[in-house]
């Protein structure tokens, strides 16, 4: 195909095929010329042929009409229609059977609609208040109601509880009737359910009823729950407390009624990040006080897998120098009682002080480098920080020297010397064995000829260059011939 005599004809054939394919694509995505389609605003409509036969609406059977009428009457609270429907001799519908369209029973439907008369009628005729359909009980659907009359919903809840409804039943998400009532804001219903169920029960997300009242911005429900002594320090699976959830949602009016829990402590920002120049440079207006380097505690504790203990050090205002000089007694005074936690921290501090210090880790400026005042502050601050760390290391060594170490016995020293002599002999025999094996090979083991490797790489580069050059020359020649024809 790349022959000069055949290339022009081949190019014309490919051009014709491309034009035909483009025309076919445009014809496929645009209305046909003979179509009476008038809406030409969209360029991506298909030209489907219009059906001449009108759309046939399926006719409902007499039973379906009866069920739709009964369900509509239950939703609208029309007791006369409900009574006539169940007393009808033409159709028999079980009280505990679910409607095919909604999947709810008549009692669930009436309870959700807030119809006190319909619920009482159904319960008197023997409707089961404990039956579950679609993972919902009639009590849950009553608490899910958005009826404006909270007193009517409370009356329905009382009737269902009197007929054996469970106040601790949950739906597929773990929501109890109390949680749904808190979402709806029915304070009378909440007061009734608090007398029967556990107010601190959690759902599948680890949230109690108080969380649902806060998330739905129902201040009265929150006040009612707090007045009954619900737990306000519980933490859900995402790490939110009721107070932090109110802050996250921006409900300031609810935040005012939620007190701080006992033992809670908000870590200051200075322990989380460097936010101002005084955090790394001494404040000249405050007697040249050395910075505390609080954020470094978080990094070091994270390396020790003890970052959850940061509030303890922040509460006692421990700076970096004091932290690096801590002892076991000091950790006990801070309130860290578990011995293995203290040992983990002390081991981490020991490894920190055992690191090799190098002058290259301190930033410096080259003679030909342009720096400004901020760079000078940064370099001086880095020098100061390293001085603080070196001082802490000296304090750590001083503390270690005060520990009474028992000197080893003569027997232990002799045993160590004998083990060292045996190790030296084993290493010497290993070296002799390696020399014996290498004597059979003129070259060292794992010898790599760097010159040969370099020559092969240069040869590969030349081959690639010649190949790309040839492709470029052929392409230029082909383009010129096409333009000439």
Does the predicted TM-score (pTM) go above 0.75? no
Residues whose CB is less than 8 angstroms from the CB of residue 200 and which lie 6 or more positions away in sequence, other chains included? 208, 230, 231, 234
State which of 320, 350, 380 marks the end of a domain: 350
> Residue 46: left if φ>0, alpha if ψ -120 to 50, beta else—which one?
beta
Does residue 244 sit within a domain?
Answer: yes
Q: Is the distance from CB of 345 to CB of 304 less than 8 angstroms?
A: yes
**CATH for 293:** 1.10.150.50
SS3 of 223-267: HHHHHCCCCCCCCCCCCCCHHHHHHHHCCHHHHHHCCCCCCCCCC
How many Cα neighbours within 13 Å face the side chain of 216? Answer: 18
Tens digit of each residue's pLDDT (9 = 90 or more) over 232-269: 878 788 777 888 888 888 888 898 888 775 555 556 66
Split into its structural domains, the chain has a count of 2
pLDDT of residue 179: 93
**Residues in a beta bridge with 283:** 289
Say if 239 falls within a structural domain: yes
Out of 199, 234, 257, pick the residue that ends a domain.
257
Residue 420 lies in a domain: no
What is the model's pLDDT at position 44?
Answer: 47
Q: Is residue 19 part of a domain?
A: no
Report yes or no on 477 lying in a domain: no
Tell me the per-residue pLDDT of 199-228, one tens digit each, with 9 for 90 and over. Answer: 888 899 889 999 999 999 999 999 999 988
Mean pLDDT, to the nearest integer, of 146-169?
A: 90
The continuous run of DSSP H or E covering 81 comes out as helix 79-87
Render 107-129 in DSSP notation, one character per residue: HHHHHHHT-HHHHHHHHHTT--T
Query: What are the structure tokens assigned to 196, written together?
Result: 């029967």
Do 230 and 293 fall into the same domain?
no
Average of per-residue pLDDT across 403-426: 80
Q: What is the pLDDT of residues 318-350, one digit of tens each?
A: 888 888 888 888 898 988 888 888 888 999 888
Computed on alpha carbons and rounded to an integer, the radius of gyration of the chain in Å comes to: 41
The pLDDT, as a whole number, for residue 180 is 93
Instruction: Note whether residue 108 is domain-resident.
Output: yes
Q: Is residue 5 part of a domain?
A: no
Domain of residue 239, residue span: 63-257
Q: Which residue has the tokens 């000091």?
A: 330
Both tokens assigned to 192: 């009734």
432 vs 281, 425, 435, 454, CA distance in Å? 59, 11, 5, 34
Does residue 151 sit in the same domain as residue 126? yes
Tokens of 454: 């370099």
Q: Which of helix, strand or coil describes residue 337?
A: coil
- Residues 250 and 138 occupy one common structural domain: yes
> How does 35-66 read in b/e, with b if 16+ C-beta sit within 10 Å?
eeeeeeeeeeeeeeeeeeeeeeeeeeeeeeeb
Q: How far apart are CA 215 and CA 221, in angstroms?
A: 11
Structure tokens given for 100: 């095919």
């Amino acid at each position: 195909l790349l022959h000069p005599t055949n290339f022009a004809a081949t190019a014309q054939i490919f051009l014709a095929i491309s034009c035909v394919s483009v025309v076919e694509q445009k014809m496929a995505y645009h209305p046909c010329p003979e179509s009476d389609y008038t809406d030409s605003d969209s360029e991506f409509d298909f030209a489907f042929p219009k059906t001449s036969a009108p759309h046939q609406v399926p006719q409902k059977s007499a039973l379906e009409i009866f069920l739709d009428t009964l369900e509509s009457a239950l939703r609208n609270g029309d007791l006369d229609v409900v009574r006539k429907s169940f007393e009808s001799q033409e159709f028999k519908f079980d009280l505990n059977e679910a409607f095919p369209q909604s999947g709810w029973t008549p009692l669930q439907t009436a309870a959700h609609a807030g119809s006190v008369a319909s619920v009482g009628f159904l319960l008197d005729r023997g409707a089961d208040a404990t039956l579950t359909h679609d993972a919902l009980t009639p009590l849950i659907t009553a608490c899910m109601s958005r009826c404006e009359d909270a007193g009517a919903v409370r009356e329905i809840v009382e009737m269902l509880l009197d007929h054996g409804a469970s106040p601790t039943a949950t739906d597929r998400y773990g929501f109890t009737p109390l949680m749904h009532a808190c979402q709806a804001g029915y304070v009378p219903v909440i007061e009734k359910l608090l007398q029967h169920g556990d107010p601190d029960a959690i759902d599948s997300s680890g949230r109690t009823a108080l969380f649902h009242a806060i998330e739905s911005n129902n201040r009265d429900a929150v006040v009612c729950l707090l007045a009954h002594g619900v737990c306000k320090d519980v933490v859900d699976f995402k790490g939110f407390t009721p107070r932090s959830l109110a802050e996250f949602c921006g409900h300031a009016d609810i935040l005012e009624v939620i007190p701080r829990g006992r033992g809670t402590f908000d870590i200051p920002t200075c322990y989380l990040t460097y936010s101002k120049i005084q955090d790394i440079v001494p404040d000249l207006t405050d007697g040249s006080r050395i910075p505390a380097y609080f954020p470094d505690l978080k990094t070091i504790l994270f390396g020790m897998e003890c970052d959850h203990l940061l509030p303890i050090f922040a509460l006692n205002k421990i700076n970096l120098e004091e932290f690096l000089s801590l002892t076991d007694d000091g950790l006990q005074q801070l309130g860290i009682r578990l011995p293995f936690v203290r040992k983990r921290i002390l081991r981490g501090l020991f490894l920190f002080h055992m690191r090799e210090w190098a002058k290259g880790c301190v930033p410096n400026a080259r003679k030909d480098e342009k720096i400004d005042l901020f760079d000078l502050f940064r370099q001086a601050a880095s020098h100061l920080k390293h001085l603080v760390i070196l001082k802490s290391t000296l304090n750590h060594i001083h503390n270690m020297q005060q520990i009474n170490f028992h000197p080893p016995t003569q027997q232990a020293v002799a045993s160590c010397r004998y083990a060292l002599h045996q190790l030296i002999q084993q290493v010497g025999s290993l070296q002799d064995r390696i020399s014996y094996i290498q004597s059979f090979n003129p070259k060292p083991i794992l010898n790599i000829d760097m010159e040969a490797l370099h020559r092969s790489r240069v040869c590969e580069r030349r081959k690639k260059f010649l190949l790309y050059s040839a492709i470029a020359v052929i392409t230029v020649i082909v383009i010129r011939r096409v333009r000439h024809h």
